[in-house]
Amino acid sequence: MITGVHTILYAEDVDRARAFLRDVLGLAHVDAGDGWLIFAAPPAELAVHPTDAATSGRHELFLMCDDVEATRAAVLAAGVETGPVEDQGWGLITRLQVPGLGDLGLYQPRHPTALGLDRT
């Protein structure tokens, strides 16, 4: 029934944001026409967290990695600003400042993940 997830990031400067995803993160992509790049996302998982009525329906996107410090160092070397790494117990997180887009979460889980599970 469900074949994938199509994530949409809204950016004030799509060219800079797309260049970041293509050149800094190295995501493979297709051109859907007129320079409209659609990027191949790494394997994904979906979680539902508790909240109250005021924030119900809110969504967040975090890229996952095996080593948040190494990934942070690589994007810093490419001139991308990041926040500090924060230890949340269940994982390590930081925020990347994507040019033309804004902040995007980066996450190193310390718990079992759903990546690699049979999706049937």
Q: What is the pLDDT of residue 1?
A: 78
Q: What is the pLDDT of residue 120?
A: 66
Q: What is the pLDDT of residue 3?
A: 79
Q: What is the pTM of this model?
A: 0.86
Q: What is the pLDDT of residue 117?
A: 87
CATH top class, domain 14-109: alpha beta
Q: Which residues of 36-56 are buried (b: 16+ CB within 10 A; e: fewer)?
A: ebeeeeeeeeeeeeeeeeeee
Q: Mean pLDDT, consecutive 10-residue segments, the chain of 120 residues?
A: 86 95 95 94 90 89 95 94 96 95 95 84
Q: What are phi and psi of 47, to 5 degrees?
A: -125, 155
Domain ranges of the chain: 14-109
